[in-house]
Amino acid sequence: MKQKKRTKRTHIPWILVAFLLTGFIIVVVALYMLLFRVDGTAYCANSISCVNDLTGSFQPGKTSTFMGERVALPSSLTNLQKSSRVLGETTAVKHIYVDLSTQTLTAYEGSNVAMSFPIASGRWHPTPTGDFHIWIKLRYTHMEGGDQADGTYYNLYNVPYTMFFYNDQVPKSAGFSLHGAYWHNNFGHPMSHGCVNIRPEDAGKLFDWADPVTATTTTYATADHPGTLVTITGETPDE
């Protein structure tokens, strides 16, 4: 009588399975952290709101809070008008430079300075350096972040003239941007949680000037209408 040949089964020890599984999870988590971490710290400039509000719409009746105080939106910012620029208005290459050492922004059109003014970069979290592109422009947005425990919590509605930027190291989800700031007036000195704060009057001019040309309350950069290049350099002064 022929005996049925028993196929040999390879038994993997449970401990090896557990080890491999754990290793796999660690690799996945590490890859995720690598992709979304910025300078080894928190990956979202506005730690609570991030990039959740991309409507660009004005939110009436909302009360903003900054460092424990209510902040009112100036009446001059409650009805921001659409840009009067048109496509193809200028062919000169545009480039925004932010110098963290001097806390200034200079916008170039070709070799000409289009505008220059003081800014306020990251005090509570560093503003990233490098070359970036604007990927979206929002007439208004909501920003929330900071920490109640150390008094840095903020919940700011209708932040005007926001231009989010990104590069290969700083993804869109990290939520760093150039934007108007109506809750403080200490420009020329680091103030923010990583974004580049600009006086509303200056932010409006930059918003209208920068690409892509703003068509509505929310304008995405595209391959045909890319966002303006933003170069951020220098070291934030220790104040």
Give the nearer residue to other proteins in terms of CB position, either 13 or 151: 151
Instruction: Single out the residue of 15, 72, 149, 223 in contact with other proteins (rule: CB under 8 A).
Output: 72
Asked whether 164 and 79 are in contact (CB, 8 A), the reply is no
CA distance 51 to 125: 17
154 beta partners? 66, 145
* Residue 238 beta carbon to other proteins: minimum distance, rounded to whole angstroms: 7
H-run or E-run covering 209: helix 200-209
Spell out, one character per residue from 81 to 100, where the chain touches other proteins: x when CB under 8 A holds, - when not: --------------------
Which of 46, 12, 39 has its CA nearest to residue 145? 46
- The least distance separating other proteins from the CB of residue 127, rounded to whole angstroms, comes to 12
Q: Which of residues 197-226 bind other proteins (CB under 8 A)?
A: 199-201
Q: Which is nearer to other proteins, 69 or 168 (CB)?
A: 69
- DSSP state at residue 238: -
Window of 5-13, 45-53, 61-69, 105-113 that interacts with other proteins by CB under 8 A: 61-69
Q: Is 77 in the site for other proteins (CB under 8 A)?
A: yes
Determine the residue type at 13: P
180-199 residues near other proteins, rule: CB under 8 A: 182-191, 199
The nearest distance, CB 51 to other proteins, in angstroms, is 24
| Secondary structure (3-state) at 197 | strand
160 contacts 80 by C-beta, under 8 angstroms: yes
Q: How far is the CB of 170 from other proteins (least distance, A)?
A: 20
> Measured from the CB atom, is 56 or 122 closer to other proteins?
122
Burial (Cβ within 10 Å: 0-12, 13-18, ≥19) of residue 14? exposed
Closest CA to 194 of 136, 222, 152: 152
Residues lying near other proteins in the complex (CB under 8 A) are found at 66-67, 69, 71-72, 74, 76-77, 118, 123-124, 150, 182-191, 199-201, 238-239
